[in-house]
Chain A
């Protein structure tokens, strides 16, 4: 190979080969997560499509000392977007289910929907924006925040988190 190829020759055969080699390497060695397609399909199965999607800004496993039971893994998720910020903590409960505690910033009175693979559950956030679901099965999950008339915040649309795997 000539060391002094013309630099503007962007279709030099060696370059095309090397780029193809890189592309193949990325596709094979850095593929999308195995369940990403499932998560997206799950997240797109919404009745109302005029929604705002929050962004996952933190996903952290934390270990806490929980009384006599010793260490317990708590996972903390934080979502943020133009309309809302939400913090969620997920704690294992006996019987291989999970407890989900959440707090919506200035989100008192919003309706919170927990969408799981098995179905959905809905409750209203308290005046401080707190909500909780217990006995949730693992698997794909998504939270939806619906406007209500009594909410502190006048949402005009539903706000949703990305689908996450619990």
Chain B
């Protein structure tokens, strides 16, 4: 997927419209290129026998894999298990990856497969996600900005949770993939490939309509 050679593109925003707000963990979409490059370097070093490179790889990519896995509506403990299983699989089978640049793709595909398997094994339609709302207060910022952002994110989270299960899964899966593979997504979501784009647009339109009715979203 990503053929960037290492050392390029660091810090150059790819402009995904995230409003200039990048994740505190440094793996916002804008940093995707940097993550890909760093991961390829560490993976190559680990295969050459540098054990600490694996620890760096885990630190860089675990936040990415977490988002990939949470897209499958797994509860947090199950999601933790799936991420651990994904890393375990890399350590066992990583030698089959031909090019270091392919490691991120290999990991995300493996994480999706594990998550999908896990989600089917325990068909819990409504995992408890209240704990997520509880943590909304946890970000440390200037109180005023924080309160506005908190209200806005609460509105977004609440509106999102009112979408159909199908819309929720589709949007989170699509958003979690840096470069979505639509053929694979179609198979996972049980949809025709050609209907992903239109469905995505419809789901976003519905989300926007719901957000329009929420004061916290409009005033922020």
Binding site for B on A (CB under 8 A): 1, 5, 7-10, 12-33, 36-37, 39-41, 43-44, 49-51, 53, 55-56, 59, 162-163
Cα A40 to Cα B208 in complex, Å, equals 38
Contact with A along B189-200 (1 / 0, CB 8 A): 000000011101
Asked if A12 and B201 sit within 8 Å, CB to CB, the answer is: yes
Choose one: B91, B157, B198, B202; the contact of A29 (CB below 8 Å): B157
Cβ contacts under 8 Å, A22 to chain B? 156, 160, 171-172, 175
Asked if A18 and B207 sit within 8 Å, CB to CB, the answer is: yes
Pairs across A and B, CB under 8 Å, 22 listed: A1-B208, A8-B198, A21-B18, A22-B160, A22-B175, A23-B18, A23-B28, A23-B176, A24-B18, A26-B67, A27-B25, A28-B23, A28-B24, A29-B157, A30-B67, A32-B66, A32-B83, A36-B83, A53-B84, A55-B81, A162-B81, A162-B84
Cβ contacts under 8 Å, B198 to chain A? 7-8, 10
Nearest Cβ on chain B to A160's Cβ, whole angstroms: 8
Asked if B204 and A18 sit within 8 Å, CB to CB, the answer is: yes
Choose one: B58, B70, B157, B196; the contact of A25 (CB below 8 Å): B157
Nearest Cβ on chain A to B162's Cβ, whole angstroms: 14
Nearest Cβ on chain B to A120's Cβ, whole angstroms: 18
Cα A30 to Cα B128 in complex, Å, equals 13
Nearest Cβ on chain A to B110's Cβ, whole angstroms: 13
Asked if A7 and B202 sit within 8 Å, CB to CB, the answer is: yes
Asked if B174 and A24 sit within 8 Å, CB to CB, the answer is: no
Q: What class of interface size applies to chain B in its complex with A?
A: 35 or more
The B contact surface, by secondary structure, is helix
Contact with A along B148-185 (1 / 0, CB 8 A): 00000100110010000000000110111000000000
Could you list 19 further interchain pairs (A-B, Cβ under 8 angstroms) beyond the known A21-B18, A25-B153? Answer: A7-B197, A7-B202, A12-B201, A13-B17, A14-B208, A16-B16, A18-B207, A20-B16, A20-B29, A23-B29, A23-B67, A26-B175, A28-B139, A28-B153, A30-B132, A39-B80, A44-B58, A55-B81, A162-B81
Nearest Cβ on chain A to B160's Cβ, whole angstroms: 7
- Please judge, given known A-B contacts A31-B25, A163-B84, whether A49 and B67 are in contact too, CB under 8 Å: no
Q: Looking across the interface, which residue of chain A has its beta carbon closest to that of B30?
A: A20
Q: Which chain B residues in 56-93 approach chain A with CB under 8 Å? A: 58-59, 62-63, 66-67, 70, 76-77, 80-81, 83-85, 87-88, 91-92
Q: Which chain B residues in 39-66 approach chain A with CB under 8 Å? A: 54-55, 58-59, 62-63, 66
Asked if A18 and B76 sit within 8 Å, CB to CB, the answer is: no
Cβ contacts under 8 Å, A36 to chain B? 62, 66, 80, 83
Q: Which chain B residues in 7-26 approach chain A with CB under 8 Å? A: 16-19, 21-25
Q: Looking across the interface, which residue of chain A has its beta carbon closest to that of B62?
A: A37
Cα A22 to Cα B16 in complex, Å, equals 11
